[in-house]
Amino acid sequence: MTTDSTNGDAAFAFALVCAAGGATGLGASVVFFPSLVKLASKRVLASSLGFSAGVMLYVSFVEIFQKSVLSFEMDKKRADSTGYVYATLCFFLGCFIMVLLDILIK
């Protein structure tokens, strides 16, 4: 049996997931209304893409990066705590691979 705080956290998380799914559905339904499609100028689309890119960078730097550092530090094969260095190298290696893919695909 779960405690009330765990149950409340699960309900809050479920509400956030439902809100995110609803926002995705609402955004996808815009293409069915021509008058709303006309509102999507290049400036609006560029602003939306810039905002979403900022959100993804935040998630990468703050949340996923910390999990990567902890995973490297919990590795039993290493005696020293170089998890931050390894996580940083992996992050920038991924950035470099994305730049290479961008160059190769053009």
**Tens digit of pLDDT for each residue in 42-55?**
887 888 889 988 98
Name the strand (E) or helix (H) holding 69. Answer: helix 65-73
Closest CA to 60 of 82, 86, 83, 87: 87
pTM of the entire predicted model:
0.51
The C-alpha atoms of residue 18 and residue 72 are separated, in whole angstroms, by: 33
The C-alpha atoms of residue 91 and residue 66 are separated, in whole angstroms, by: 11
**Tens digit of pLDDT for each residue in 68-98?**
888 888 876 666 668 888 888 998 999 899 9
